């Protein structure tokens, strides 16, 4: 995991008192799931060209101290999730794919060329709900808690897409909204129902060019590409 280790070295140098990566190698040996998760990130990071890697590394380190209750280092990992979008665009056959540095103004994360046109991609991560974080902290057993996506998820989904589209439009281009979604149902027992709900929601609002990567590992995804006209706004 060359690039993950390079990233860890940089983090340790910038934040020498932070203990997040302390004992990393040993914990990976004793936890196959942890090693697999970091391997997943490293596989995506290795696709980045050198310039894009430097930019993404700087962004991840800058957000290393961004926390959320129940999801430690969320800002850090949200930045790394941009690598999944970069890899997908490259595999799709897009050219000129490059990460964009943060510059104060809210700009998209990636610029690329598709069919001879410059476009932009904004990456958003939708993590666990506050309700799920409270469930896990309570250590209680819940039944039928994940049967369908609730209104709170769709408000968050709509808001994320609206914000991403605005950032892309501000560049005077079109492009792709790439979402990494970590659902409360970690086992994804209800994935078929979730997929149906997300597709129906997006189509009901005329949303197009949205790619949803489900979790970090595996190939579950939802790609919304209907032939649609421009929306007249979205309620969030």
Confidence at residue 69, expressed as pLDDT on a 0 to 100 scale: 66
Q: What's the token pair of residue 50? A: 């050198």
Supply φ then ψ for residue 215, to 5 degrees: 70, 180
120 and 98 Cβ atoms separated by less than 8 Å: no
Confidence at residue 70, expressed as pLDDT on a 0 to 100 scale: 59
Give the end-to-end CA distance of the chain in Å, rounded to a whole number: 40
Four-point Cα dihedral 186, 192, 196, 197, nearest 10: -30
CA distance 121 to 107: 10
27 and 69 Cβ atoms separated by less than 8 Å: no
Q: What is the pLDDT of residues 37-71, one digit of tens each?
A: 999 999 999 999 999 999 999 999 999 998 766 56
35 and 24 Cβ atoms separated by less than 8 Å: no
Q: Hey, what domains does the chain have and what are their CATH numbers?
A: 1-76 (no CATH), 81-236 (3.40.1350)
Confidence at residue 231, expressed as pLDDT on a 0 to 100 scale: 43
What is the chain's mean pLDDT, rounded?
89
Please state the pTM of the whole predicted model.
0.89
Distances (CA, A) of 22 to 7, 26, 108: 14, 9, 33
Q: What is the pLDDT of residues 171-228, one digit of tens each?
A: 999 999 999 999 988 888 999 999 999 999 998 888 888 999 999 888 899 998 854 4
180 and 126 Cβ atoms separated by less than 8 Å: yes
DSSP string for 31-81 = -HHHHHHHHHHHHHHTTS-HHHHHHHHHHHHHTTT--BTTBTTHHHHHHHT
Site of tokens 């060209």: 49
Supply φ then ψ for residue 59, to 5 degrees: -65, -45
Q: What's the token pair of residue 220? A: 């579950």
CA distance 209 to 112: 14
CA distance 16 to 2: 20
């Amino acid at each position: 995991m060359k690039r993950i280790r390079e990233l860890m070295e940089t983090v340790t140098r910038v934040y020498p008192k932070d203990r997040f990566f302390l004992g990393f190698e040993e914990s990976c040996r004793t936890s196959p799931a942890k090693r697999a998760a970091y391997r997943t990130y490293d596989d995506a990071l290795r696709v980045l060209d050198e310039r894009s890697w430097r930019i993404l590394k700087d962004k991840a380190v800058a957000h290393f101290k961004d926390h959320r209750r129940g999801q430690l280092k969320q800002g850090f990992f949200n930045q790394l999730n941009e690598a999944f979008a970069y890899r997908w665009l490259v595999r799709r056959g897009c050219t000129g794919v490059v990460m964009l540095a943060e510059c104060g103004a809210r700009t998209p994360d990636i610029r690329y060329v598709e069919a001879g046109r410059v476009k932009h991609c904004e990456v958003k991560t939708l993590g666990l709900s506050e309700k799920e974080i409270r469930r896990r902290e309570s250590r209680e057993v819940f039944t039928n808690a994940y049967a369908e996506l609730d209104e709170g998820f769709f408000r968050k989904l709509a808001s994320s897409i609206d914000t991403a589209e605005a950032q892309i439009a501000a560049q005077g281009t079109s492009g792709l909204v790439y979402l990494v979604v970590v659902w409360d149902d970690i086992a994804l027992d209800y994935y078929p129902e979730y997929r149906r709900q997300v597709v129906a929601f997006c189509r009901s609002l005329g949303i197009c060019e949205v790619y949803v990567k489900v979790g970090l590992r595996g190939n579950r995804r939802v790609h919304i590409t209907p032939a649609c006209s421009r929306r007249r706004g979205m309620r969030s």
